[in-house]
Structure 1
């Protein structure tokens, strides 16, 4: 009887979690314009990570985005995305960090420390950036463009942040009021730079917005983490490195996709887009995630195994999955419109 009651309780708990997840994805999906639950299949999405791939497979991904290698809309794949190259990039950067750490620990070489800071700051944000590069099914952004946004955009977003900090008092960043101001300043600074690059490259697809946002967020994260590590030591690097799976890169990707959702296709981003509900909801979500991340919440429970951070990481990724679904829906819709247009012309 006890086992049966325990089984029923477990089942109720599972059903509650399932309904909660469905409600969350449906709510976020409504922000994108579709009133449906988004099913999340993590094992399926990342199944290609565990499959063998050769150098040709990797190079085929890296050569996209030029006039000769950007596919036509008809050739774009609207199948569920299955990125894998990011895991190899992470393994490469991770192994490089380990070798530098051995150089430092075994041979006491202080010359290894700058390399550790650089590679350690780069590993997670840059690997995530490669993932967003892979899932951009339109293949219309080249590696050169991506590196430009990553480096220049990351630095510009830091400059914009410093300008806003000089204009808006932010406090210590740990009280809820101060954390909210910090979240507003940093996410707004990145948003402005994201909008600039979307206009500069004349981008029109949700996946493009995810990628440009991720590039600027990743650049911001790398330079910020390297700066903090220089001030506070390698422990800071280790903490910020694993936490980077759900911070600036993800928050900025959310905003980039939201900008695309809010603007008219083939039209530049304007001020009116920034007050559109499709943008504001995701923008406020990014600010909220950032603010709660920085907030020193007075609840001891949230400090257990970094519960506060894991909850926020989960919410951020939930938004990414919903926006990825919206990107695939957009690709299918555009292809359907193209087929309909051609059939009408042919008829």
Structure 2
């Protein structure tokens, strides 16, 4: 970033987009991979990350363009249903080839799929932020990537990690030993969709609450604070606090659910000797 700002060389911009979008997701996936067992190989994690990003973003884009032709008050919920459904489908396909299933492995692969989706999606948002009516804006690009990087750990990666733990838990208890569409999977899918929808709609809810708390009439659906002319500085500050507060609340709920699954799933770290034996058996 410093080199780009100092030299004005736009050829470095793609590097900023790639590094800024992938640094945090790759770091967290590496962190999760180091806590998995021999079934979750580096190749499987890499495949989950790439498939979750490429197929997830492309699949969600196609479905959203077909199913969301008209903007409605349910748009946030519909987008959440589509994106979480696509990520779950990608994770399901990856899980079909595994020899066995544990809650920990489901969380690790789910995190890889979710963070892959987040990385590719962030690259798209950063690219769009670069272009403004006044030309290229490196400041907008950097601000967008910094904000999404900070929020990435409690977004897509967290939600799909929870779904992965549920999916693998039901698979380990199924007579067939394979992932199946059980009631628990559907129920937790709905929970994750609600978290996702609440996350996406936090700005609109914050605007609505701001107007309500300051005694102004508020429409039910508001896309952003910038669409409301005449906003006072105190209202802008209140909106910022409410918007960040809703995101923090959503992230805390998601982290609580993840920790609950870790506790309920009883997923202690596997000793190195056992892990090495499993790895050798898997390679054979």
The two structures share one fold, judged by TM-score above 0.5: yes
Distance 2:95 2:127 in 1: 32
Deviation at 1:157, TM superposition (A): 1.5
Corresponding residue for residue 4 of structure 2:
104
Query: Residue 299 of structure 1 corresponds to which residue in structure 2?
Result: 209
Q: Which residue of 2 aligns with 1:322?
A: 260
Higher RCO structure, 1 or 2 (CA under 8 Å, sep 6+): 2
2:146 paired with 1:208: no
Structure 1 residues 187 and 302: CA distance shift in structure 2, 3 A: farther
Matched, 1:267 2:177: yes
Q: Could you give the per-residue CA deviations for residues 173-230 of structure 1, whole angstroms, max 9, x where no partner exists?
A: xx75110111101000111111110112344111111111111111111111101111
- Note the C-alpha offset of 1:238: 2.1
Matched, 1:141 2:47: no
TM-superposition CA deviations, 1:245-274 (whole Å, max 9, x none): 21111111111111112222762223xx2x
User: Who is 1:165 aligned against?
Assistant: 64
CA distance in 1, matches of 2:80, 2:90: 16
> What runs of 5+ residues in structure 1 fail to find an aligned partner?
1-100, 333-347
Kindly indicate whether the alpha-carbon contact (under 8 Å) linking 2:169 and 2:265 is maintained by their aligned counterparts in 1.
no
Change (3 A) 1:306 1:176: farther
- Given that 1:207 and 1:257 are in contact with CA atoms closer than 8 Å, whether structure 2 keeps it comes out as yes
Cα offset for 1:144?
2.0
1:283-298 maps to which residues of 2 (within 5 A)? Answer: 283-295=189-201, 296-297=204-205, 298=208
Q: Is the 8 A contact 2:117 2:156 kept in 1?
A: yes
1:122 aligns with 2:22: yes
Question: Tell me, which stretches of 5 or more residues in structure 2 are unaligned?
Answer: 131-140, 211-237, 271-284
- Aligned mates of 1:148, 1:182 — CA distance in 2: 24
Q: Equivalent residue for 1:190?
A: 87
Q: Is the 8 A contact 1:213 1:254 kept in 2?
A: yes
Residue 225 of structure 1: aligned partner: 122
Tell me how far apart the structure 1 counterparts of residues 265 and 41 of structure 2 sit (CA, whole Å).
19
Partner SS, residue 141 of structure 1: coil
Q: Provide the TM-score with structure 1 as the length reference.
A: 0.60
